[in-house]
Structure 1
Amino acid sequence: MKFNFFKASLSLALCSTLMASCVSSKKYEDLQASKEALEREKAASQQKVDELTASLRDREKRLADVERALNEQQKILDNLKNDVNAALKGFNQGDLSVNIKDGKVYVSLSDKLLFPTGSTKVNPSGKKAIDQLVEVLKKNQQVGVVVEGHTDDVSVASGMKYLTDNWDLSVLRATEITRMMTEKGLSPDRVTAAGRSFYMPVDTGRSADAKAKNRRTEIILAPDFSDVYKILGIQA
């Protein structure tokens, strides 16, 4: 009887041990599988981090390149503006202005500086101003030029030869300036003439002063920045 009890106890102990061993083995396998899954997730996450880091570096480099390009552009514009200001220093500053806008240098010359009233022929002081501006442009061969004639909204006096309205006046004044510039040695393929009549006023007021501001010739200087992009290895 005692022997049978011993055998039963031994069998029960062995079964318990085997069952515990099976449970432990199953837990180990589960833990191992969980570990492998976590390692795969970690590797995938690390890959994403690496990709995002590389993308961030590329964006930072691109941003640095763009900032350098903008700085180079601004330097070119500032130098051109300074050269123009120096060339026109001797003239009444109330009759002209030089400003940078939208990546271009705008040289605005009043009709008082350039033309007799209602005329398309440039007066002596105007010729001198244009001559000095041309000398600056000869030293800056990569700068394109647009000459825009602007008028006020007062109708052209009747009976004036070749002038029907302010379109005629603005166009003929622009072409006269353009002709002078090319005759002084500026390449014709660099210069474009345009007449704006009274449709692009700088002052919409009705006073005599406002109208005087609108009667002007704007010479728009547009540097070619393609060399800047090439130097920096940037596609424009």
Structure 2
Amino acid sequence: MFKKLSLIALTLILTTSCVSKKIYTDLENKYADLKKENRKLSNSNKDLENALNKAENDLAKLQKDYENTLAQRNKLQADYDATKANLDNLNASYNALEENSSASIAQNAKRNRELLAQLEAKEQALIAENARLDKLKQELEARSQRVAELESVIASKDAAMTKLKNAISKALTNFEGNGLTVEQRDGKVYVSMENKLLFESGSWAVGSKGKQAVKQLGEVLAENPEIAILIEGHTDNVPYKGNEQLSGNWDLSAKRATAIVTILRENSNINPENLTAAGRGEFAPIANNETAQGKAQNRRIEVILTPKLDEISKLLNEL
């Protein structure tokens, strides 16, 4: 509901001759929320990597415990076998001496009882170690399975994002060399379009060529409903000197981001809940603003595509 109200408010801005302080403040608040969400997503990505490392370390520790327990069990088995062999020898001696010496018989009987007691104790210890070994083995197998599932889900997400990047690159091939780049990093896909492809200087109206590029991008995004779409507007550091409709670069960048969202919303297969517009002004440059080329690179729209992490979060909670 909040996103719909924000879009209505921004649409009203586009059709009016001036921007109220309230709307500008709302945009600032919206950007702050988006910035927190972006930081949350980055932290989630780091948490996933940390959780995976921890799970692998725990798996290695369980493997070591399993091996140590197995060695201990084998030692007890060897002791048990040696004691049983000793008992068998004593029983043989007992049978041989039974006819010759009642004293020897009594001594051997006592020794036999001691050995039987030792044998029973070692047998109980062996049973306990076997039970502990089975428990560790089951825990090791369960943990290994969860780690494998987590790795599989992460790999699947990365593969899906790679597939999405390739699909976007293919869809926008005709716009190569016009300030458009498609990159994949940190588990996300970044589509950057310089303003020369989209807007005239100081304007937030998207040109025909830019609309074509955005619509072709939208066709790919419509086929990926599980992707969150963040549209960021960026400017160079030259202060805005246009008409009084805008208060500055930040306002201009927000209007440009909203203009891209408006075009994407023309595609009814894109879920509006997945769309977010944000203005960054001149505060997130990717090049040096001291040169004309650097300024051109900084004047851009960035479309940041992020996979939903519900399935990964569920697996992490089970570790």
Is the structural similarity TM-score above 0.5? yes
Give the aligned partner of residue 129 of structure 1: 213
How many residues of Structure 1 are paired with residues of Structure 2 in the alignment? 216
Asked if 1:147 is matched to 2:235, the reply is no
The C-alpha deviation readout for 1:24-63, integer Å capped at 9, x for no partner, is 3332222111111111111111112111211221122222
- Quote the Cα distance in structure 2 between the aligned partners of 1:66 and 1:93: 39
- Quote the Cα distance in structure 2 between the aligned partners of 1:146 and 1:53: 45
How far apart are 1:71 and its partner, in Å?
2.8
The equivalent position to 1:31 in structure 2, one of 104, 115, 140, is 115
The equivalent position to 2:155 in structure 1, one of 71, 93, 98, is 71
- Quote the Cα distance in structure 2 between the aligned partners of 1:155 and 1:19: 112
Give the aligned partner of residue 83 of structure 2: none
Asked if 1:178 is matched to 2:261, the reply is yes
- Quote the Cα distance in structure 2 between the aligned partners of 1:26 and 1:148: 89
What runs of 5+ residues in structure 2 fail to find an aligned partner?
A: 1-100
Task: Give the conservation status (yes or no) of the 8 Å contact 2:261–2:277.
Answer: yes
- Quote the Cα distance in structure 1 between the aligned partners of 2:229 and 2:198: 18
State the percentage of identical aligned residues. Answer: 37
SS in 1 for 2:200: coil
Give the aligned partner of residue 292 of structure 2: 208
- Quote the Cα distance in structure 2 between the aligned partners of 1:20 and 1:45: 37
Asked if 1:161 is matched to 2:251, the reply is no
The equivalent position to 2:192 in structure 1, one of 105, 108, 130, is 108
- Quote the Cα distance in structure 2 between the aligned partners of 1:187 and 1:70: 24
- Residue range with higher mean Cα deviation, 195-204 or 49-58: 195-204
Task: Give the conservation status (yes or no) of the 8 Å contact 2:237–2:289.
Answer: no
How far apart are 1:100 and its partner, in Å?
1.7
Normalised TM-score (structure 2) = 0.61
Give the aligned partner of residue 45 of structure 1: 129
- Quote the Cα distance in structure 1 between the aligned partners of 2:262 and 2:289: 32
What runs of 5+ residues in structure 1 fail to find an aligned partner?
A: 1-16
Give the aligned partner of residue 303 of structure 2: 219
Relative distance call for 1:215 and 1:31 in structure 2 (3 A) is same
The C-alpha deviation readout for 1:194-224, integer Å capped at 9, x for no partner, is 1112222223563333332222111122344
User: What value does the CA root-mean-square deviation take over the aligned residues?
Assistant: 2.6
